[in-house]
Amino acid sequence: MTAAPPSTAKLRKRRRRNRRIIVLSVLAVLAIAGWYKYAHKPEELISVETAKVTRRDLTETVLANGRIQPILQVMINPEVAGEIIELPVKEGQSVKKGDLLVQIRPDNYLAVKNSAEASHLSAIAGRDQAQEELGKAEADFKRNAELFKSKLIAENVYTDFKTALAVARLHVQSAEHLANQARFALDQANADLTKTTIVAPVDGTVIRLKSQLGERVLGTSFNMGTEIMTIAQLDEMEARVDIGEMDIVLIKEGQNVRLEVDPFKDRKFKGTVSAVANASKNSSSQSPASTSSSQPQEAPKFEVRIRVLDKETFRPGMSVTAEIETRSRQNAITVPIQSVTTRLPKPGAPPAKPEGKSSGPVKPIEVVFAREGDHVKMVPVKTGISDSDYFEITEGLSEGQEIVTGGYKAISKDLEDGKKVKFGADAKTGK
């Protein structure tokens, strides 16, 4: 008796299972082959550029921006109040010391002066009369004192003359005081009258004119008074630049400066540091109350003044960029700036600080990658000053060593001590 053949449904199910097994087997073979190929793929080497460690002269600079201003400029503020009745100058005009700048209406001050003069004359007359009366009282007292001594007059008569002398002396003191007061008032009135005429205190140029004919101005007794104009000597100019707190410690009087003034882009001007501020420009506004608030504080800025040595037709307010030479080294060992990076020190390397003085997490150190055969060696270094292109190396490298100078990603991230790399065809000299 023979077995019944399998049904059509069972045959289809068996074929699908066999097909799935075959597909999974093929995928497994492909995966194993891919892994094997990847695992045995040769390592792709990092390409780097190199240069030789060289000696050169370095000059460290600090860059700062600011404005050109006259070294000497004088703000003209009237000392007395009144109406401007003469204003014979205009903005941009040159003036000589003593030239008339402003005439304030003098009528009221002239009247005060005349009144003070009359009061002074009256006080002088009163003082002279008091002195005359004192002389008479002294003579009367002297004569009657002799009579009293000879017992020719009664004591009460003598006392009356003595009292009259004392009163006369008091009258003279009072009259002299009044005369002095009147003299002071007259001097003040004369001074105020003189102050209605304002003349140029120095030779210069009117660089700013803020008042006009007929305007009523306030004297300096009212705060700062009205600013009428500003006179400046444009033949002696300076650059006033702001320096941050990290760089201000490097700035000293007498340092050389290269200046670029915006309207003269194709030229560089020479200058020298003439003054360095001791306090930041915004220190007065940073009170304890304000520093405790949640508002961000403005970074401290210190004003540095630079005398411009070259003569040119600069205008006050022109933008300027100053490159201040702070330190220099002759024949220093140098490397390109991009060669220096940071890494954590190798295990077992001596600490940056003596034993027992270091705490907290290990800090990165400055390193350079030097060429050794077909791989690189991480060399800890100490840097000194720098310019825009090179670092001074004070410790760790010697002249002529070949070091990695690029690319940026390799130096900053990829390179490790002892890593095999692909070097450029020829090492550059770096000169």
pLDDT tens per residue across span 335-382: 999 999 999 987 766 655 555 455 668 889 999 999 999 999 999 999
What does the domain layout of the chain look like in residue ranges?
Answer: 50-55+330-348+362-423, 82-103+199-232, 106-195
At 124, list the tokens: 């002088």
Position 332, amino acid:
A
User: Which pLDDT score is estimated for 285?
Assistant: 53
User: Which pLDDT score is estimated for 34?
Assistant: 64
Question: How many other C-beta atoms are found inside a 10 Å radius of the C-beta of residue 98?
Answer: 11
| CATH number listed for the domain at residues 82-103+199-232 | 2.40.50.100
At 74, list the tokens: 């004088």
Measured CA to CA, the distance from residue 74 to residue 218 in angstroms comes to 18
- Name which of 64, 46, 13 is nearest 420 in CA terms: 46
Question: How many other C-beta atoms are found inside a 10 Å radius of the C-beta of residue 311?
Answer: 10
- β-sheet bridge partners, residue 83: 216
CATH class label, 50-55+330-348+362-423: mainly beta
CA atoms within 13 A on the CB side of 417: 11
At 143, list the tokens: 């004569």
pLDDT tens per residue across span 240-277: 999 999 999 999 999 999 999 999 988 999 999 999 99
User: Which pLDDT score is estimated for 429?
Assistant: 40
Measured CA to CA, the distance from residue 148 to residue 141 in angstroms comes to 10
Measured CA to CA, the distance from residue 181 to residue 176 in angstroms comes to 9
Whether the CB-CB separation of 430 and 402 falls below 8 Å is answered with no
**For residue 157, what are the CA distances in angstroms to 2, 63, 148, 370?**
184, 94, 9, 120
Average pLDDT, 10 consecutive residues per value, the chain (431 residues): 58 66 68 60 80 95 96 95 96 96 96 96 95 93 89 89 93 95 96 96 95 94 88 95 95 96 92 95 60 67 96 92 96 96 80 55 92 94 94 95 93 92 61 40
pLDDT tens per residue across span 298-325: 889 999 999 999 988 899 999 999 999 9
